[in-house]
Chain A
Amino acid sequence: MKIIAKKPESLTGAKYHYCPGCTHGIIHRLVAEVMDELDIREQTIGICPVGCSVLAYDYFNCDMLEAAHGRAPAIATAIKRLLPDRYLFTYQGDGDLASIGMGEIVHASMRGEKITTIFVNNTLYGMTGGQMAPTTLLGQVTTTSPYGRKAEWEGYPAKMCELLSINEGAAYVCRTAVNNPANIIKTKKAIKKAFQIQAEGLGFTMVEVLSTCPTNWGLSPTDALKWMEEHMIPYYPLGEFKVKGE
């Protein structure tokens, strides 16, 4: 029998707790495939956030540490400085990274910490029941923006790639989406590139992945993908924002 697809070794195989249609599972798999392909599972340390992916330590088959809300980049900083030949990644949602952890991510990128951040943007706080996040789009209804996000009340959605890419310390900043197979392949390429640039020691690397939350958006999984294409991608353009040396 010829094996044409299998579970990456860098995943434990534990059953995901994610909701139907949630794209965290895809993104986990992409990170794991990259770890397999680069053969770095045993040299990699992952930091998971507080948010939907808080249990990511159950899924990644490498040394994992679960951080306080927003602090993953600070934790990764210390580990990388003490163990400079390991691969460090943080896996963070939009509330974790762009709200309570804004300080940590901005400073880690400014210092040029040689870590890779996987930033999953689904425009709201999923785990706590769909509250507004810094990345919630204008007009978007959440439980804490029940009249739709208004710029004069809640300000504008955070564009993290644009913000972090201006830092000298940022070596690779890229935004991708997992709405279709082509973009999923591009996402994996970007994650791989980020790990490779980390290995070269060029500086901070981040891949922002636009993700869906069918449960809290109140949409079916397929409608959620469509919503992402129609609303998120126009506001959060895909592509590489910073590639050091290019």
Chain B
Amino acid sequence: MSQEQQVLFAGFGGQGVISMGQFLTHLAMHTGKEVSCALSYGAEMRGGTANCLVTISDEEISSPLTENPMTAIIMNLPSLERFEDKIKPNGTLVLNSSMVDRLPQREDVEVLQMPVNMLADQLGTARVANMVLLGAFVEKKGLMDIDQALDYLEVVFKGKKESVIAKNKEAFLVGVEYARKEWK
């Protein structure tokens, strides 16, 4: 992440889209970067659209907003429809293939697919779907050491029950494993 990077997280409210963005924001701050996380909700919080844009840079961030992020994490089909054309050429689209049943029409972007809901269901709870995807994303982009990331999970989930934290860590590692095998 030498120059300014912008990552968009998009999906339904309740899919943990905002938490993913906040986690990446924490992670960036702890590694000494400048970071900014702009939240955008639909009128209704749960079930409506939700997205957040994380900007990470070595220098002061001029704009925390953009029309054209380099990377998008897409958790559902409406989000793909809305943002597919916006991604910068040579950018990356990470798709939750459990909810997005088609591939992007563009050919100038890297596409990473992952059946996020299925993997989360195997863990026994759909609530950790976001962590599975985040684990894979962090691993694939080499954003940071995985053990360090697990430590930050403790910080981010501070105050939550021990079992909840353990479940999220497990989900994160499932994502890491998936990326190592499937996104080589």
In the complex, A touching B, CB below 8 Å?
no
